[in-house]
Structure 1
Amino acid sequence: MSLYGPDAGAVPRGIAFISLLSQRDLSLQLPINYVTVPGVSLTAACFPNKRYEDATAARCISNLLATGFRRIEADIYWDTSRRLWSLCPVQLGNTSTLSNSTMTTAEPSSRSTSSAMLASGQLTNRGAIKEARATFANGAQRRQDSSLSLTIPTAPADSTAASSVLPSVSSTATLTAGASGTSVVATSSASGTSPPDSSQNLLIEVGPYSCTPSADFKLLTTVLSGYLEDTETDLNATTRYLILNLHAAAPASDPSGSPQKPATSALPQQGDLISSIISSNNSIYLYTPTELLAERASLNYTETSSASSSYYQPDTAYFTVTVVNNQQTTSDSWPSEGYIELGKAKRLLTTYGTVDPQMTGYNFSGDAAYLFPPGYLQATPQVTTKAGAVTGGCFFQPGVDHISAINSSWSTTTIDATTQQSDILPLVANLTSCGISALLNTTLNNIDAATDYTPYQAYAYAANWAWSDGEPRNTSVSGSKVSCAALNATSGRWQATDCAQTHYGACRIGHTPYKWQISSQQGHYTNLDEGCPYNTTFAVPRTALENSYLLAAWRDYRKITYGESDPMLWLNFNDLSTDACWVRGQNGSCPYLPTKSDAQGGQILVPTVAAIIVFVLAALTIFVKCAANRQSARSKRRRVDDRWDYEGVPS
């Protein structure tokens, strides 16, 4: 049974789901190193009371993954007494040698790990996953299962929406740290997390730490694997980044002291290497340094590979390309999320974070083909903040719009306990607008994400840069079709707007990410492309930093154009083809459904009766015109922008 089991309310639903999906789709052509994502430290979010219990850890990690955290930073400790990587900072030794006289009965875990309904309709049945993976490896795209419907789920009645302040928590429970010395407490494992033997159920108290032996690195990778598997055919599939800080576990005799450097013979061997543990659960999802180097050396291959699509090749405006003997190469590019997910069927990148001096003897070369080197997926610009605002280090620089001068690649900064809790959410939003990913390294509301996920969900949602709160709205309001996106100069965010209204439009200059111009005239959404000046194109921002530059251009234009009171600016983004499916291009069609379906109650549904009719007709077809119709069915593919043979959803 999968260990991935978030609280139902942690999974994005309704408008929140549509907002996340549309924002992800916008950035599919952008190199992943320029796309800002929320990050979190597991130590701060899951173990603030130094209690490392397997069931609680599994739920906490599940909630963080479900709410939208895409950078997961984990502290892992090499326990020489058990020869394994642990989440617990202290060595636990062999629990079978502990005296039974020290064991007492503990209250069972108040919350068990359970499965939750996922936040989208799955378009590929679970039994076909392995076959689909093999198909991807042979260069073919995943087939869409037309017998299943695409559903935009509604929010549960008891869910708490993210707001501009961290939600208050109802629980006042606290955990008491264990006394000095070692004691063992018998506790129950949550459903789906039962370890293989009874000794793994023990909650061992060593100094200030309380740990179950099964709260180890394998638990983390198993939960992550469950998440990736459960969402690999979901519409909200996204890449995840795992950053690992390596430590040596402290001895039980001195749990709060400095750990000793393990002897060479006590260091991890081949089967204990981090790459071995990750690969055992997540090898099919892993995008590796080996793949990156091969694709950088031959961009020609990636552009013509049947496993990829030129539509999802990363925008070359973001990196340099060198041509030698008709061979395109690059030294600084990263693939786009669309290429990784749709072309490669990969969703996980791993790297080292910090490495303690005690672990410098670790066999890093043994992981080199699977884990990126330290700092490879993270840059730390000099950022200064005050009262939730960014006062220095922002990559938005008025008057500077060339990509080489705005190198925000992998830029990440940490929000820790020095930031007041009331300033955290505004700071996340402002850092994101500056092109900087915010990594949370403090406990919100003094409570972990297993006990209450809502403040962490609010943090993750604060990193969403496109839509205003409550947007995009339902497409039918008082008989009008609010199916077109517009940027509000006052809020800096987008709103769903009636396409028949008249506004100016956003025009991208050439193919540059940060140069924008306002259309020469106002117009309806459907004819706005005619209003963009020469060498410009009616467009939509694809990242938070692109949006910041467009917002500045729009505000400057309104100042220059004396008396311009209209705050709305058309963006080339709409759901005219299919309600709640937002696409670029005035004639763009939804890649997730073959035809437009009615959206009622926030859902896009293929009616059950129609599905039954299709099933019956399909059966008759098999018996009457089997061979001919199968051939015809294989030839039917959807195209997006006349380039991508779209047959499924991100893996």
Structure 2
Amino acid sequence: MPVFSSSASLAASIMGSNPNLLATVKLPSPIEPQPSGIDLESGRKSYEKPASPIAAIPGSIEVLSPIVQDEDDVLDDFLGSDTLLTFLRRKSTDTNSQNQVSEESIELAVAIRSAEQAAKSEPDPERKRSLILQQLRQIGEEFLTTNPTDVNGGMDLNLSQKSYDDLRGTLKMAENGEGDVNSWLAKLEGTKKEIHKALLPVIRGFTPSFEVGSMTDLTLTKQPSGPRHVVVIGGGFCGTHAAMILDRIGHFHVTLIDSKEYFEFTPAMVAAMCKPEIDIRVAHTKYIKNGRFELGYVKSILPNAVKLADKTIPFHYCIVATGSTYSVGFIKGKNLSTIYRTKKLKSEYAALEKAKRIVIVGGGPVGVEIAGEIAEKFPPTEIRKIVLIDGNTKLLKRCPKRAQQLALKTLKKMGVEVILNQRIVDYSEVRGNGAESATKIIKSSVGATWTCDRVFLATGPKPNSSSMKEAFEDRLDASGFIKVNEYLQVVNSDNIFCGGDVANIPEEKLAYAGTAEGVGIARNIWRLDAGKRLIKQGQEGFIPAQTKPMGQVISIGTKTGIFNVATAATDASWLANSLLNQRDISSILPIDRALWYGVSLNGSLFTSHVVSTAKLNVITSPLSVKYQRLILDLYWDAQQKTFQMCPQPYSSAIPSPTVTTYTLTATATVTTRSPSPSPSGADVNINGYICSQSIRTFPQLLPQFSTWLNGTSTQLLANVVFLILNLNDLAVTPNSNAAASTTTLSSSLLSIIGNASMYTPADLASDRADINNSWGFISPYYVTTFDATTNKTSTTNGWPVGQYLTLVGKRLLVGFGSNTISATRYDTSIDANTIFSSASLGSTSFLSTDAVGSLANCSRPTTGISMIGTGGFDSPYYPVAQGTSALSYSFASVTDTVTTPFTSTNLVNVAQCGFTPIFTQNYSMDALASTIWTWEVAEPSNQGRCAVMNKDSGRWAAADCDVRYPVACRSITNPYNWTIPDGIEYYWNGDSLCPATYRFAIPRSPIEATHLHNVLLNTPNIDRLWIDYNSVSLKGCWVVGGNTVCPYYDATLIIPEIIAASLREGLLVVIVGFLFLLWQINRQLQWRRLRIRRVTVRKRIEAMEKEFTAVAS
């Protein structure tokens, strides 16, 4: 059996081979699980289920009805009631029954009734006609075969020839457009009556078992009492795991509602189609021991109850895990018993055996798996053709290049014809005479046409969210997915949770993702009921944060599998190496045009109204995982005349629980509260906020920044960092008797951090006035002026390069963000020489993900905004459109929002457009993987020591320096102007091909890389080209220029693998470790600290000047 999930043990665990599954789930239980279930209404232990078949039906204890005279009404009630329909299905498989009816006949009756109900409920004639035609086609697919002599269509319908002819004739009328909907249904009346006639004896055998009443007596209106009642809707991976966990906690009574009687391992359905004998199902009743299982459909979800066809079930908590519907119908079946499901798969198998042309539409994971399974089981021949069609230029578009290439190569080797870049625009069916199924006709966007007898539309799943429309339609997004918050609660509905395919979580819809969501939801329901803080995405025991993708395994037959590493948890060494290389490459860019990463501490660290000592002690942790721009909210207490981190005045402190911290694991801490009579502990409760007593004021926080700066002063670790201060007023009445405070923000910074470690507005003004005697490097990214009388070059908008600030040790820039404090209460002008204004560091020009969306246009990121460059060269690239406002690229950034968090897709676009991403919600180091614009995943490999840019992705790979390739040449005055001259050369001779005003070069920023990639894409017959980057001097140490020496210690080289920051129990605990990868010899790290002297700075500047020669004359 092929691997369809990277967590294959899920199938084994759900099917009973792992009875200790729950032992691995860290879910504290306040009450021991009870050995039996709980009666919903009385709260007593559940009754023993009677031995009678009908009494064993979940919910049948509520059925009470007198004898109804009209048997047709009774039959209609049976077909419309999930509970009673269960009885019919079970009787069809009861070999001891005297009145046995085939299950296929029951399903056909249900399908006809469904078409009749749809015809009655749809008022629009055209939509009604289309809807009924679709349902009739589905009936034809399920109950007819290609054999015209097979009276029963290959199914156990037990119909007369006339009824079968009526069924076939109805489908022909509908396909040919003859008659109207009413005439179609009228022609089915004979078939329907014959089935009903066979079913009535079975129903008569049921009614004497109970007193009979109207179907309204099935409605349950009492609110649940006793245990907390949890309704789980959906028996897939998310629903079953949540139900399993909660069912074993005696405090909860679980009702699982599903349209099937069994859990089905859906990742194996493609294999089951070609091997229908494999068993991938397990009855829900096998793992729901104390609660109960309801077979049926939930028609509506209300705030405190769910409505089925024949009853209403109230709840305290609800889990919506209704999953999705695939275009490929066999993947997720509904309303089917195990026996019927197996018969359907066998019927599909038989049809594939006879098929001469099979077409799969869609080149995603499902389409590739279907093509692989069919091709392996029924190899293509001269007679049998298998075609896979996709509208994209590559298969598996979300997978990395290697996975795409392997999928294409494998399918072609198996004989599958793969047609790419053709979108299907029309699909129709033509039915001939006899009982054969329709011939399918498919047309593509380029006019190509295919005729076939089997089509699989693997075009993606659609969410099953219709049950939300009655009461919660506003909780659905534009695609029909249910909106959830970071705790997987339906937005604005604390007691309703949602997980699995139907939730609008930006991730691949995977089996083990649904499992993790189910476990997390179960934990959160327990925690919510116990009054504890909920866990959220990114924390231990839950799914990863939204920006951290998950892995995926795709099988191609039984011999080949592809692991999608592009969406897997990021390889730490690759990410750390890429970030280090990007820092070095961009170090000669002015800091306002480099790519930085920012995080709002209030949104990601000080969550849930907690500004505790434990959290303040790790405030510099984001800096260790390469987030260089921290945004901190400060609050002005006019009475104490000081800035603090707590949003409430300490004068309002009340007795509160003492907050303590204990060790959960070797690397994580958890904050808990226990009763305390006084606020004398480390933290204090102030109007619902938990605030630190030991680190109250901004000056008390600054030593942590000083310690971090001193501890990361080596060349390998040093980064320029930004601290943005949002100023807020606590609205405290000033104390008129208090003396005026002489402590200002700037005086605190200078006394604790020190002027030697800070780059200030005063430094910038001095350096701008005389560039040659300051940072000494003139860049095309800003405008300069040369004064012949003073022999000085100056700039009004230039910024120093990152390498200069690192070498002189001035690595911290502090700036103001938002400010709601009036100048009469605190005048920020007194800090003007030390702290940059909001406009200077771009704090007033944030764009949001709500505004920019997927950021399809870099120069027009949103309506009414035009981006403008900072240097004279880039003005033509960013013309200001009429009616728009200009926004400078200097420190340009995009912030995420609660409603539109960053995803891997929009992060790629944000980086490529040159914007700094600002994370206001969860963040992790893995989130940065989407912004890597340099190396391919798993590169640089050991294939060579020189770098090439690949045409398909625009990313880089290592290659043998002694192979000839075209070269990338950049203008010496315009970093966006690239050319690829004719000819090929070795890496060493790359500059020899470049024209006179161009140099063999490397992109220094994502925007430069995008411009070079566009030139490469428009150059025919070239798949890759040299860029000026190599590791010749020391393996693994990549530098620009063929003769450049590695700047790090020349005996050994290590790459730190920085472990991602994670949110544990609401507390941001950053696990920062350096896992040393020994590249040449195994011995301990010894770094040589750089001597920061002016003469060293001058030598570095001279080396940088060789890159750009546009120095003012």
TM range (shorter): 0.5 to 0.7
Task: Give the Cα–Cα distance (whole angstroms) in 2 for the partners of residues 644 and 505 of structure 1.
Answer: 21
Please say if residues 780 and 873 of structure 2, whose CA atoms lie closer than 8 Å, have aligned partners that are also in contact: no
Report 1:342-357 matches (<5 A). Answer: 342=807, 344-357=808-821
Q: Give yes or no for the alignment of 1:500 onto 2:972.
A: no
Offset of 1:236 from its aligned partner?
Answer: 2.5
Partners in 2 of 1:31 and 1:465 — Cα distance?
18
Q: Note the residue ranges of structure 1 that are not aligned, 5 or more in a row.
A: 1-6, 115-169, 187-198, 250-258, 303-307, 445-454, 612-634, 646-651
1:5-404 aligned at under 5 Å gives the runs: 14-59=573-618, 61-93=619-651, 102=655, 104-110=657-663, 199=680, 201-216=681-696, 217-249=698-730, 259-260=731-732, 262=734, 269-271=741-743, 273-283=744-754, 284-302=756-774, 310=776, 313-325=777-789, 326-342=791-807, 344-358=808-822, 361-378=825-842, 380=845, 384-387=851-854, 393-394=860-861, 402-404=873-875
Aligned to 1:440: 919
1:489-544 CA distances to partner (integer Å, 9 max, x unpaired)?
A: 22222222222333221100232111000132122212222222332111001111
- For residues 656 and 868 of structure 2, the distance between their equivalents in structure 1, rounded to whole angstroms, comes to 62
Give the superposition deviation at 1:640.
6.6
In structure 2, the partner of 1:603 is: 1078
* Letter in structure 2 aligned against 1:602: L
Contact 1:261 1:359 in 2 (8 A): no
CA positional deviation for 1:392: 6.3
**Does structure 2 conserve the Cα–Cα contact (< 8 Å) formed by 1:318 and 1:403?**
no
The residue that corresponds to 1:139 in the other structure is none
- Quick one: distance in 1 between partners of 2:621 and 2:716? 18
Query: Match of 2:1018?
Result: 556
Which deviations, in whole Å up to 9, do the C-alpha atoms of 1:387-406 show, x marking residues without a partner?
575576358999x9932344
Return the letter of the residue paired with 2:1011: Y
**Alignment CA distance shift 1:577-1:638 (3 Å):** farther
SS of structure 2 residue aligned to 1:582: coil
Secondary structure, aligned partner of 2:1018: helix
* Deviation for aligned residue 1:641: 9.4
Residue identity opposite 1:244 in structure 2? L
| Distance (whole Å) between structure 2 residues aligned to residue 521 and residue 360 of structure 1 | 68
Quick check: 1:567 aligned with 2:1039?
Answer: no
**Secondary structure of the residue that 1:40 maps to in structure 2?**
strand
For residue 1037 of structure 2, what is the aligned residue in structure 1?
581
Of 952, 977, 988 in structure 2, the residue corresponding to residue 526 of structure 1 is 988
Secondary structure class of the residue paired with 1:505: coil
**Aligned residue type for 2:985:** G
- Closer, same or farther: CA 94–467 of 1 in aligned 2, 3 Å: same
Distance 2:1085 2:815 in 1: 48
- 2:934 is aligned, of 466, 477, 487, to 466
SS in 1 for 2:710: helix
Specify the code of the residue in structure 2 equivalent to 1:289: P
Query: Is contact 2:588–2:1104 with CA below 8 Å preserved after alignment?
Result: no
Query: CA 1:51–1:369 in structure 2 vs 1: closer, same or farther (change >3 Å)?
Result: same
| Post-superposition CA distance 1:222-263 (Å, at most 9, x none) | 2222211110124121100111011122xxxxxxxxx35757
Inter-CA distance 360–414: structure 2 relative to 1 (3 Å threshold): farther
Residue 264 of structure 1, CA deviation: 8.2
- Measure the CA separation in 2 of the matches of 1:411 and 1:598: 33
Maintained 8 Å contact 2:590/2:798: yes
SS of aligned partner of 1:393:
coil
Q: Distance in 2 between matches of 1:38 and 1:350?
A: 15
**Shift in CA distance, 317/357, structure 1 to aligned 2, threshold 3 Å:** closer
Match for 2:793: what amino acid?
Q
Cα gap change, 1:12 to 1:545, in 2 (>3 Å): same
2:893 to 384, 402, 412: 412
SS at match of 1:318: coil
**Alpha carbons 2:946, 2:1032 under 8 Å: kept:** yes
Residues 88-146 of structure 1: per-residue CA shift (max 9 Å, x gap) = 10001287xx6xxx4555543446999xxxxxxxxxxxxxxxxxxxxxxxxxxxxxxxx
The amino acid that maps onto 2:937 is D
SS in 2 for 1:108: strand
Change (3 A) 1:436 1:365: same
RMSD: 4.1
- Report how far residue 63 of structure 1 moved: 2.6
When residues 548 and 524 of structure 1 are mapped into structure 2, their CA distance, relative to the original with a 3 A threshold, is same
Whole-Å Cα distance in 2 between the matches of residues 185 and 388 of structure 1?
52
Q: Which runs of 5+ in 2 are unaligned?
A: 1-539, 541-568, 879-887, 1056-1074, 1087-1094, 1106-1113
Match of 2:228 in 1: none
**Is the 8 Å Cα contact of residues 950 and 957 (structure 2) preserved in structure 1?**
yes
Matched residue SS, 1:332: coil
1:280 is matched by which residue type in structure 2? S
Is the Cα contact below 8 Å between 1:184 and 1:204 reproduced in 2?
Answer: no
Distance in 1 (CA, whole Å) between partners of 2:1085 and 2:735 is 67
TM-score between both structures, scaled by the size of structure 1: 0.67
Which protein, 1 or 2, shows the higher relative CO under an 8 Å CA cutoff with sep ≥ 6?
Answer: 1
Contact 2:1036 2:1053 in 1 (8 A): no
CA spacing shift, 1:104–1:263, aligned 2, 3 Å: closer
CA distance in structure 2 between the aligned counterparts of 1:460 and 1:598, rounded to whole angstroms: 21
Q: Against the structure 1 CA distance between its residues 347 and 597, is the aligned structure 2 distance closer, same or farther, given a 3 Å change threshold?
A: closer
Q: Distance in 1 between matches of 2:899 and 2:739?
A: 36
Q: State the distance in 2 between where 1:82 and 1:231 align.
A: 34
Assess, with a 3 A threshold, how the Cα gap between structure 1 residues 230 and 595 changes in structure 2: closer, same or farther: closer
1:334: Cα distance to partner?
Answer: 0.8
Q: Give yes or no for contact 1:260–1:358 (8 Å, CA) kept in 2.
A: no
Contact 1:287/1:347 (8 A) holds in 2: yes
Alignment CA distance shift 1:226-1:94 (3 Å):
farther
Q: CA deviation at 1:375?
A: 1.7
1:412-431 to structure 2, matched below 5 A, reads: 412-419=893-900, 421=901, 423-431=902-910
| Maintained 8 Å contact 2:771/2:778 | no
Change (3 A) 1:266 1:295: farther
After superposition, give the CA deviation of every residue in 1:323-380 in whole Å (9 maximum; x if it has no partner). Answer: 24122221111111111121x2210001111110446631323212211122211062
User: Which amino acid in the other structure matches residue 331 of structure 1?
Assistant: T
Distance in structure 1 (CA, Å) of the matches to 2:659 and 2:873: 61
Q: Distance in 2 between matches of 1:113 and 1:86?
A: 32
Q: What amino acid does structure 2 have at the position aligned with 1:19?
A: S
Please say which of residues 33-42 and 370-379 is displaced more in the overlay.
370-379
Per-residue CA deviations over 1:532-565 (Å, capped at 9, x if unaligned) read 23321110011111111111111122xxx2xx2x
The one-letter code of the counterpart of 2:597 is P
Please tell me whether the aligned partners of residues 715 and 1048 of structure 2 are also in contact (alpha carbons under 8 angstroms): no
Q: CA deviation at 1:174?
A: 10
